[in-house]
Structure 1
């Protein structure tokens, strides 16, 4: 393991402890009555949202209903990035972010199983995760913010010149992400995303590589794409029993990866295949993003003998700017003179100017390689029991997720409408 990779291991704790950091080093003691009336209203209106999944639903449905493109997102990467921002936010700005994260307080978020998983990702053979903070050299991160990040998370903080060397700073962030994702994500920050008014950039990177517990054979099979056309695509096949279950309107397939012997985490891919002309991908996104335990409850629990079996190989990348979807889900203050006094000293009018997410995934007969990154720019305001043969022929658009079994944390979520699209 290289010196860089060892350093990256320390970064994972950053997400898990931001919540405690924010509580310990708040600018003022908590109000005797807790949250203000305005903050309580925000929590009431937004609580229950699972940030990454809610945003995945917004962007995924748009991708499926619009140009009919393939789609992938990392709810875990987005969750970690927004939690980092929430740790440096204060007042209603923080409360709105917590509402999007599905928690009423930083302490509650800190106790979530997803946070505990983030702290273990760099100890697993399949995954790596890193985060960093870049601040303009004319500004200063709060000493408590830096100290807590370094001592509890091993977070990297770097001073750059956004005013005179914005393009060089953008490239440094992108190089950090590219290194962690083994060059799969090269440009999470697009040209023009940072400029002279940028004060802080926060970014993380997630890498996943998992081999199937049972490798597959490959053959060419038809796949029906929206509009009535059919294309021949390289597909995986098997005659071995698989985890398959039938539900009203769709069927589910669980494809386990080879996992750690000590079972610190167990990963699998879940594929949800709508019955022809019965359910839409939008319906499945609604359920997966808004219904607690949906993915866990619809993960097949036992193997059944298979008849026909086909899952296409696919490889593609998806990127989008997240701000508009965040605003739809109730986060507005952070984009308009937000309160980030827990992060940067001496700057009263900071706002999020861009939230950039990029993810890539490749699935073949051997397993899955996936990576994702999220960068946030902050600047000055300007069930089946049958033992009969069961088919699973994914020859039409389907939804997929890469899930950690113990915590039900979704690392990647997306859909395939045409395996030939890159």
Structure 2
């Protein structure tokens, strides 16, 4: 009889905290989001000019990259971001950290083989060469964790393994070397609640106490073999803060009506910003102090955010960014907002193409020592939990978490002309690391006071 063992992958994002976890919870698929699979439009490296002529890049160009120079991890992360957004989107506000999910699953992937590896690589745009992913992941983490007095940005990983589990030494070493994932043994079988408390305290510490109960009650049971956790935290001040005295109660119109709105706290400023537009949307870049990170706010021309987001791909996001110019004064009205999102992802990931990994046919033989387990031993993913948080105000942001309508007929504002950007209806937002081009957090605001 096959032993039931579960890999639990947990991800957290603070700034937009993002949490992911694959854990044996016995969660019913009915409780998960109903998601549909989707393809993704892949853009070019952010470090080079955006190719607005091409809408897609073949996944194979990433999957079959056999050197670090040939693999663009930011492009992979961003392509996955839009795929996941399409599958997660609901009628409510949403925030998540694609980077957190991408990184936690990369640690699982390091132990995957055969079909299991191929399915995960296809969905996450990983290279089939694990060494390429390891090296690029380490470089990305080092950039994110580089100290800067202007803002707080950090990411961390940890592996929590059942006592006496025959962990493959090479897998453990790689997790530590390339992902900083220290291995801690816990008594899942005899002390499940104590184990849960230890993991949740680690998560809370890494997320500045914004996520305290990532691992829910009764998630850990005797069959739990491993829980992988990732945390991302960001807190930064705007390069030019909004004046608190300028914040007023103004109407915010929801997608269902152009005439009826709710009064919300609307911030206001007039400054020089990078701004662009197409016939369907406007984009403004709001930088954080230090200029390493920024928030892109994308405001559809129409109030129907559902129609807009269903067509907005990564290629559109890149094209809209390429339309931006910095020589214009922009009046910005932006609502204050603060909310979190928590989701379980197995059904979503299955619909996107990862199926074998959630069955006892999964091949994660790189994780354990095959010499110390029965011949019919099986290890598979059982649950993936993701949680994210964001708080945007006059001073800045704290958090843990794009087709393209081509701007062919767009009339760019003349130099020196004052343009207006009034986010008084649903919009999308992205928090991006400008150094790498990696989308750290992504979401939409449908109701600022939800």
Q: What's the TM-score once normalised by structure 2's chain length?
A: 0.73
Q: By percentage of residues, which structure has more helix?
A: 1
8 Å CA contact 1:73, 1:358 repeated in 2? yes
Secondary structure of 2:88's partner?
helix
Corresponding residue of 2:167: 141
| 1:329 aligned residue | 352
For residues 258-317 of structure 1, what are the alpha-carbon distances to aligned partners after superposition, in whole Å with 9 as ceiling and x for unaligned? 116xxxxx110001101125x63454365344x38727735734141235x310010001
Map 1:289-300 to 2 at 5 A.
289=314, 291=315, 294=318, 297-298=321-322, 300=324
CA distance in 2, matches of 1:292, 1:342: 38
Q: Secondary structure at the match of 1:158?
A: strand
Cα 1:365–1:131 shift into 2, 3 Å? same
CA shift in 2, pair 1:369/1:52, >3 Å: same
Structure 1 counterpart of 2:23? none
Cα contact 1:46–1:100 (8 A) shared by 2: no
Equivalent in 182, 186, 195 of residue 169 of structure 1: 195
Task: Please state whether the residue corresponding to 1:339 is helix, strand or coil.
Answer: coil
Instruction: Name 1:210's counterpart in structure 2.
Output: 236
Unaligned 5+ residue runs, structure 1? Answer: 1-42, 261-265, 373-382
> Can you list the C-alpha shifts for 1:122-142, whole angstroms capped at 9, x where unaligned?
223320111100111131211
Corresponding residue to 1:258 among 249, 264, 289: 289
| Aligned residue in 2 for 1:370 | 399
String of CA shifts for 1:61-81, please: whole Å, max 9, x gaps.
xx1xxxx31100001101101
* Pairwise CA distance, 1:148: 3.0
Q: Secondary structure at the match of 1:213?
A: coil
Quote the offset at 1:172 in angstroms.
Answer: 1.5
Count of residue correspondences: 354
Higher relative contact order (CA 8 A, sep 6+): 2
* Greater Cα offset, 94-103 or 72-81: 94-103
Find the counterpart in structure 2 of residue 312 from structure 1.
335
Question: What is the match of residue 94 of structure 1?
Answer: 117
Unpaired segments of 5 or more residues in structure 2? 1-58, 64-75, 402-409
Check if 1:386 corresponds to 2:414: yes
**Residues 18-167 of structure 1: matches in 2 within 5 Å?**
50-60=79-89, 63=90, 68-105=91-128, 106-110=130-134, 112=136, 116-125=139-148, 126-167=152-193
Structure 1 residues 349 and 87, CA, compared in 2 at 3 Å: closer, same or farther? same
Q: What's the secondary structure of 1:123's corresponding residue? A: coil
SS at match of 2:173: helix
Residue 175 of structure 1 aligns to a residue whose secondary structure is helix
Aligned to 1:339: 363
Tell me if the contact between 2:157 and 2:179 (Cα under 8 Å) persists in the aligned partners: no
Conserved 8 A contact 1:253-1:299: no
